Amino acid sequence: MERGNSSFMSDINVTPLVDVMLVLLIIFMVTAPMMMQGVSVSLPKTTSRPLAAGKEHLIITIDRSQQIYINDYKVALEALQAKLKKIYEGHPDQKVYLRADKSVPYGTVVRVVSEVKNSGVKRLGMVTEPLKKFGKRR
C-alpha cells in the first residue's frame, strides 16, 4: 500500500474561535448588568424631595412576597432585631432606611418597624418614589 503525497495540515484556523469568543463576550457584556440588581420592590409615590447621596446607608427592604432583606441579604423577621443590634453597635451613627413594596400589608411593615426600633435604631427613614408632577395625587 503506497501513500500519496498527502500530509496533514498543522495550522489551526483561529478565525471561527475568535468569532465565537466575540459573540460570547458581547452576550456577557449585555446580560451582566441585568444580573446585578438588588431586591425588586414597587415603591409608593410621594411628593418628598430626594435625599443627598453621601456615604453608604443601611437599607431594610420588604419585597412583594414579604421577604425581609438587610441591604441585599435575606433575613427572617425573628432574627432582624438581633442582626440590627450587632450592626448598630459597631456603627451607632449608621442611617437606616426602610423600603417596602406598596403591596405589602400594613401590619407587616409595622412589625418590621417595631423590630427596627427595638434594636436601638433611633431614626428610621422611609424610601419612596417621587410623583411625576408635584401636587398631583394618584
Q: How far apart are the first and last CA of the chain?
A: 90
Domains in the chain, ordered, with CATH?
45-130 (3.30.420.270)
Q: How far is CA 130 from the centre of its chain?
A: 19
Q: What Å distances lie between residue 114 and 98, 107, 119, 124, CA to CA?
A: 12, 10, 9, 11
Amino acid 22: pLDDT: 92
Full strand arrangement of the beta sheet holding 96-100: 73-75, 68-70, 58-62, 96-100, 124-126
Rounded to whole angstroms, how far apart are CA atoms 112 and 97? 12
pLDDT band at 138 (very low <50, low <70, confident <90, very high): very low
User: Mean pLDDT across the stretch 112-121?
Assistant: 88
pLDDT band at 35 (very low <50, low <70, confident <90, very high): low
Amino acid 125: pLDDT: 85
Residue 26, by phi and psi: left (phi above 0), alpha (psi -120 to 50) or beta? alpha
Residue 36 has pLDDT above 60, yes or no: no
Residue 39 has pLDDT above 70, yes or no: no
Rounded to whole angstroms, how far apart are CA atoms 44 and 131? 9
- Average the pLDDT over each of 60-69, 98-107, 112-121, 124-133 and give the range with the smallest value: 124-133
Query: What angle in degrees, to the nearest 10, is found between the helix axes of 106-118 and 77-90?
Result: 40
Angle at 82 between CA 54 and CA 69, to 5 degrees: 55
Q: What average pLDDT does the structure give for the chain?
A: 78
Kindly report whether the global pTM for this prediction surpasses the value 0.95: no
Residue 78 has pLDDT above 60, yes or no: yes
Q: Which residue would you say has higher pLDDT here, 40 or 11?
A: 11
Amino acid 88: pLDDT: 80
Beta bridge partners of 61: 69, 99
For the chain, what percent of residues have pLDDT higher than 70? Answer: 71
